[in-house]
């Protein structure tokens, strides 16, 4: 368990939407459904702390520490423990693998939270990746703008802006996480030319209704963060009480399409168990296909679109 003073002040009670994300529950040890390694990362790790699941992308784990230990974390088995053991040797092994695998053009830096590292360590990691010719894009996955926004400093941003194209995916789950401090952190990053996306997790009792998510996604746009993914909760051991039915998320998406800007709508997706990859889960609008495509719009009105005759 780890809750820093900033996030603790935002929590009103153990049962509110922020408390449930941070404060342990007995339900975590009464989970007989979910898996230890739900995304099959360990079996797709050719060298320690590097996961190569997609042909042109790799995940590099650079720390086992986070500013807060989220109770629904996919890497619950590792984060905050010695089972995620990062050293200079493991990092070098990762860099060597990336050099020998030029098909990998994009690297996601994660952990733990990379922004829990010291500034100069972050500079060193980014520099090492930039020195690999085949690496075109670097992404950083971090929850710091949400749970410890004062860590985003001008000195850190000065380092980050030297490594474009650099993208950051952060993680907000509830409108109450968007504060003056988190807005300032995101503004510092955006002002440095870093595109920001948000990966939200659909959590029972936290944000599993269209009103909460609509407010969250619109507020994210105001602080220059693009809602990127809304994830169905992973099958992580100890998190079964957070899972909703997939139909819940599909119905929520149905109430978002057409009612708010497309800029504010993420892709609802499930990360396939066993490392099968992300699968979009979308409402069904197509009624039938033939000479005309028949579908319904966001209001439920039936529409048709004439198809071309070339069959392609």
Q: How far is CA 85 from the centre of its chain?
A: 22
252 and 304 fall within a common domain: no
Alpha helices by DSSP H, listed for the chain, are 5-10, 19-22, 88-100, 119-130, 144-147, 154-160, 180-191, 210-222, 246-254
Query: Torsion over CA of 83, 50, 145 and 37, rounded to 10 degrees?
Result: -50
Per-residue model confidence as pLDDT tens digits over 228-280: 999 999 999 999 999 999 999 999 999 999 999 999 999 999 999 988 999 99
Query: 241 Cβ partners below 8 Å, 6+ apart?
Result: 25, 27, 28, 31, 204
Helix (H, G, I), strand (E, B) or coil at 32: coil
Helix (H, G, I), strand (E, B) or coil at 128: helix
312 and 186 fall within a common domain: no
How far, in Å, CA of 152 to CA of 164, rounded?
A: 17
275 and 291 fall within a common domain: no
Percent of the chain with pLDDT over 70: 99
Nearest to 3 by CA among 148, 174, 106: 148
249 and 132 fall within a common domain: yes
State yes or no: pLDDT of 34 exceeds 90.
yes
67 and 199 fall within a common domain: yes
Nearest to 265 by CA among 277, 278, 282: 282
Task: Report pLDDT for 26.
Answer: 97
Nearest to 223 by CA among 202, 197, 254: 197
Query: 205 Cβ partners below 8 Å, 6+ apart?
Result: 17, 20, 242
151 and 211 fall within a common domain: yes
Please count the structural domains in the chain: 2
Nearest to 188 by CA among 155, 220, 233: 155
294 and 189 fall within a common domain: no
How far, in Å, CA of 121 to CA of 115, rounded?
A: 10
Per-residue model confidence as pLDDT tens digits over 35-77: 999 999 999 999 999 999 999 999 999 999 999 999 999 999 9
178 and 262 fall within a common domain: yes
10 and 55 fall within a common domain: yes
Cis peptide bond upstream of 165, omega within 30: yes
| Host domain of residue 294 | 285-312
How far, in Å, CA of 111 to CA of 221, rounded?
A: 26
Q: How far is CA 191 from the centre of its chain?
A: 21
277 and 291 fall within a common domain: no
229 and 158 fall within a common domain: yes
86 and 223 fall within a common domain: yes
Helix (H, G, I), strand (E, B) or coil at 296: strand
Predicted confidence band of residue 311 (pLDDT cuts 50, 70, 90): low
How far, in Å, CA of 65 to CA of 81, rounded?
A: 8
DSSP strand pairing (50-54 vs 57-61): antiparallel
Per-residue model confidence as pLDDT tens digits over 86-134: 999 999 999 999 999 999 999 999 999 999 999 999 999 999 999 999 9
């Amino acid at each position: 368990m780890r809750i820093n003073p900033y996030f603790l002040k935002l929590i009103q009670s153990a049962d509110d939407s922020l408390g449930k994300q941070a404060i342990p529950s007995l339900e975590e040890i009464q989970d007989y459904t979910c898996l230890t390694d739900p995304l099959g990362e360990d079996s797709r790790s050719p060298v320690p702390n590097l996961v190569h699941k997609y042909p042109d992308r790799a995940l590099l784990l650079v720390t086992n520490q986070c500013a807060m230990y989220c109770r629904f974390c996919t890497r619950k088995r590792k984060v905050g423990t010695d089972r995620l053991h990062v050293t200079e040797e493991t990092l070098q092994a990762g860099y060597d693998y990336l050099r020998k695998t030029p098909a990998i053009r994009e690297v996601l830096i994660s952990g733990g939270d990379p922004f829990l590292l010291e500034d100069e360590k972050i500079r060193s990691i980014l520099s090492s990746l930039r020195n690999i010719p085949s690496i075109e894009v670097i992404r950083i996955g971090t929850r710091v703008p949400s749970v410890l926004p004062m860590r985003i400093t001008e000195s850190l941003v000065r380092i980050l802006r030297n490594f474009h194209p650099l993208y950051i995916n952060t993680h907000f789950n509830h409108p109450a996480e968007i504060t003056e401090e988190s807005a300032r952190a995101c503004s510092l990053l955006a002002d440095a030319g870093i595109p920001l996306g948000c990966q939200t997790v659909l959590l029972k009792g936290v944000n599993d209704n269209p009103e909460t998510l609509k407010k969250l996604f619109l507020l994210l746009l105001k602080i220059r963060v693009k809602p990127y993914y809304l994830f169905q909760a992973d099958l992580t051991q100890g998190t079964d009480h957070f899972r909703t039915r997939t139909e819940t998320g599909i119905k929520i998406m149905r109430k978002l399409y057409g009612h708010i800007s497309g800029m504010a709508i993420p892709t609802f997706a499930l990360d396939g168990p066993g490392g099968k990859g992300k699968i979009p889960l979308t409402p069904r609008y197509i009624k039938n296909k033939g000479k005309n495509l028949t579908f319904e719009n966001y209001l439920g009105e039936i529409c048709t679109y004439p198809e071309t005759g070339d069959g392609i």
